[in-house]
A and B are shown apart, each in its own frame.
Chain A
C-alpha cells in the first residue's frame, strides 16, 4: 500500500516559482498514482482567487494547472477556511474549505507532509 502525502501550499501565486513548484510535487505524485492531498493555507489560498490575470505579469497561468488536478487523480483538494476569511475570499469552487480542527485531522490522516 502506497504512503499518502499531504502537500500544504502556503505561497501566493505570483511571488516566484514556489507555488508552481509546490503544485509540481502534487502533479508528479498524481502521475505516479500515489495518494496525494493538497491543502491551501495562509497566502496559498490566493492561488484560488477568481479572475486572476497571469498575463499582466507575463507569467504562465497557475489556474490551468489547478484545473488539471482532477485529470491527475488528485481529488483531495482543501483550503483553510480561516485563511480564506482573513483575506476576504469567498469559498472557492475547486477546493473544500476546512476549519482548524479539520485541518489538524487532515494532517493526522496522511503518512507524510510537505509544507512549502
Chain B
C-alpha cells in the first residue's frame, strides 16, 4: 500500500509524534511512503533550530533521522514555510534573512507536490491539531 502523509502541526504537538509513529509503523509493515508533505504549522516540524529539553523527546530530530534513514521524499510547503520563518539557505539569501533553519533531507516546494503525492498514493493520511 502506498501512503502519502501530510503533517499540519509543529514538532511539539502530539500529532507530529503521532504522524512519525504512524509513518514508522507503515514502513515496518512493508508499506511505501510516496511522500511526506508538511503544510501549515507542519513546517515547524522540519525546523532544525528546535532545542528540546534533554529529558524530552526531540521529535524534529527524530523526523530528520527517520527521513534520512529511509531516504524519503520529504517536502515542506514553501509558501507556508516562508510565512512562518522556516527558510533554507536559498530562501534566506533571497529575502536577506540571517537564519537558516531548514536543510536536507527536507526540500521546499509548492502545493503541487501535495496533489502529486495524493495522485500517486493509495491513501492520503493527514495529521494535525493536538
Interface residues in chain B, defined as those with a beta carbon under 8 Å from any beta carbon in chain A: 6, 8, 39-40, 79-80, 83, 110-112, 114-115, 118-119, 123-124, 126, 128
Q: Is the C-beta of A63 less than 8 angstroms from some C-beta in chain B?
A: no
With the chains together, A114 CA to B42 CA distance in Å? Answer: 15
What is the 8 Å Cβ interface bit string for chain A, positions 5-23, against chain B (1 contact, 0 not)? 1000000000001100100
With the chains together, A114 CA to B7 CA distance in Å? Answer: 11
Do B124 and A112 have beta carbons less than 8 Å apart? Answer: yes
Do A5 and B118 have beta carbons less than 8 Å apart? Answer: yes
With the chains together, A43 CA to B77 CA distance in Å? Answer: 25
Chain B residues within an 8 Å CB radius of A24? 79, 111
Chain B residues within an 8 Å CB radius of A98? none
Do A112 and B111 have beta carbons less than 8 Å apart? Answer: no
Chain B residues within an 8 Å CB radius of A112? 118, 123-124
Interface size of A as a range: 10 to 19
Q: Is the C-beta of A25 less than 8 angstroms from some C-beta in chain B?
A: yes
**A18-B40, A21-B40 as given contacts; A29 in contact with B115, CB under 8 Å:** yes
Within 8 A of B (CB), among A19-70: 21, 24-25, 28-29, 31-32, 34
Do B115 and A114 have beta carbons less than 8 Å apart? Answer: no
Q: Is the C-beta of A116 less than 8 angstroms from some C-beta in chain B?
A: yes
Beyond known contacts A25-B39, A113-B124, A114-B124: 8 more, CB 8 A cutoff: A3-B118, A5-B124, A17-B80, A28-B112, A29-B115, A32-B112, A114-B126, A116-B126
Task: Give me 16 A-to-B residue pairs in the complex whose CB atoms sit less than 8 angstroms apart, sorted by A's number.
Answer: A2-B119, A3-B119, A5-B118, A17-B80, A18-B40, A24-B79, A25-B39, A25-B111, A25-B114, A28-B110, A28-B112, A28-B114, A29-B115, A112-B118, A116-B8, A116-B40
